[in-house]
Every structure is written in C-alpha cells, then in structure tokens.
C-alpha cells in the first residue's frame, strides 16, 4: 500500500468514527395480548436522538387490544396520568391536559399496525417510565423504564 493510500485510509477512518459515535438509538417494541412490552428496559445516552417503533402483533380488534407507548417526564405520576387517560377515550386514551408531563408518545396502535416516534433523550441522567394507557394495560403491568445514562 502506498503512503498516499494509507493517508486516504486514515482520513476515511477518522471521518467515519465520529459518525458511528453519534448513531441514533433505535428500538422496536412489540405488544401482543399478554399486556407486556417486549422490551421493558431501554438505555440511551443523554441528548441522544431516539427512535421507538411500537408494533402491535395482536389479532384482536382495536377496541379490545390496542397499545401505545407513552414516555413520562421524570417525577410524573404514572398512576395519575393513567387515570386521566381512562377519561380520554375520544383522544385514543391520551390525556391532552397532561401532555406537558410526557417526553414522547406514539399513537394508539391497532393489531397488525405500528407507529414510530423520534425524540431527543433528556439531558438529565435517570430513569423515565413508559406506559401503555389503553384501559387496564398499565395496571396489568404494561410498562417499562428508559434509563438515560
Ligand atoms: Cu397496551
């Protein structure tokens, strides 16, 4: 290999490595009939661009088994949020009045469908809860934790 080729190789390596370090975090989460997310723990870096794709693999009708993915801010009361969600069936069980307590959320996803949301991870390290607000799902354990570290 010539010196020139070595230099080119080194420059290509230098330009690619920062891109690799900045790669977005991307997660695919599946919901079915068992009222659990397939991933109950996600880990991301502070300020990182995060993409979550929620896939509903249930074969039941949407009125019986739909799912969403709602990421709450640190310190938000998940029980109170879920209670408010139950009073918002016309808005796909997403309580607009409490939108300021969320970081990101998908829409309500019917069986066989998916929805994807992209957001910026919080700068503050810590654990952030995510929940499904379809009636009864959070109470049954459809929840998880996104750790920023
Ligand atoms: Cu659900």
Q: Domain residue spans in the chain?
A: 24-148
Spacing, Cα 58 to ligand 1 middle (Å): 10
Q: Is 71 exposed, middle or buried (0-12, 13-18, 19+ CB in 10 A)?
A: buried
Spacing, Cα 24 to ligand 1 middle (Å): 26
Question: Which residues does residue 143 pair with via DSSP β-bridges, in sequence order?
Answer: 131
Question: What is residue 4's predicted lDDT score, i.e. its pLDDT?
Answer: 60
Spacing, Cα 47 to ligand 1 middle (Å): 27
Spacing, Cα 143 to ligand 1 middle (Å): 9
Judge whether 132 and 31 are in contact, CB under 8 Å. yes
Judge whether 122 and 20 are in contact, CB under 8 Å. no
Question: What is residue 1's predicted lDDT score, i.e. its pLDDT?
Answer: 52
Spacing, Cα 73 to ligand 1 middle (Å): 19
What does the buried/exposed string (b/e) look like for 20-48 if buried means 16 or more CB atoms within 10 Å of the residue's CB? eeeeeeebebbbbeebbbeeeebebeeeb
- Taking 50 as the pLDDT cut, the residues of the chain under it are 9, 11-15, 17-22
Spacing, Cα 130 to ligand 1 middle (Å): 11
Spacing, Cα 96 to ligand 1 middle (Å): 18
Spacing, Cα 69 to ligand 1 middle (Å): 8
CATH architecture observed for domain 24-148? Sandwich (2.60)
Question: Which residues does residue 50 pair with via DSSP β-bridges, in sequence order?
Answer: 25, 119
Question: What is residue 24's predicted lDDT score, i.e. its pLDDT?
Answer: 85
Spacing, Cα 122 to ligand 1 middle (Å): 24
Question: What is residue 18's predicted lDDT score, i.e. its pLDDT?
Answer: 47
Spacing, Cα 4 to ligand 1 middle (Å): 58
Query: Rounded to an integer, what is the distance from CA 147 to the centroid of its chain?
Result: 11
Question: What is residue 5's predicted lDDT score, i.e. its pLDDT?
Answer: 54
Q: Which two tokens stand for residue 3?
A: 């010196």
With a CB cutoff of 8 Å and minimum separation 6, the contacts of 69 are 29, 37, 52, 54, 105, 106, 117, 130, 132
């Amino acid at each position: 290999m010539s010196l020139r080729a070595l230099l080119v190789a080194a420059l290509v390596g230098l330009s690619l490595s920062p891109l690799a370090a900045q790669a977005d975090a991307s997660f695919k989460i599946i919901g079915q009939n068992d009222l659990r997310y397939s991933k109950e723990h996600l880990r991301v870096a502070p300020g990182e661009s995060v993409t979550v794709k929620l896939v509903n693999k249930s074969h039941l009708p949407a009125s019986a088994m739909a799912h969403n993915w709602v990421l709450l801010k640190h310190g938000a009361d998940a029980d109170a949020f879920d209670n408010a969600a139950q009073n918002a069936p016309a808005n796909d069980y997403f309580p607009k009045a409490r939108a300021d307590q969320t970081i990101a959320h998908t829409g309500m996803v019917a069986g066989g469908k998916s929805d994807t949301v992209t957001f910026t991870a919080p700068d503050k390290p810590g654990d952030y809860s995510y929940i499904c607000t379809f009636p009864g799902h959070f109470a049954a354990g459809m929840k998880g934790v996104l750790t920023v570290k």
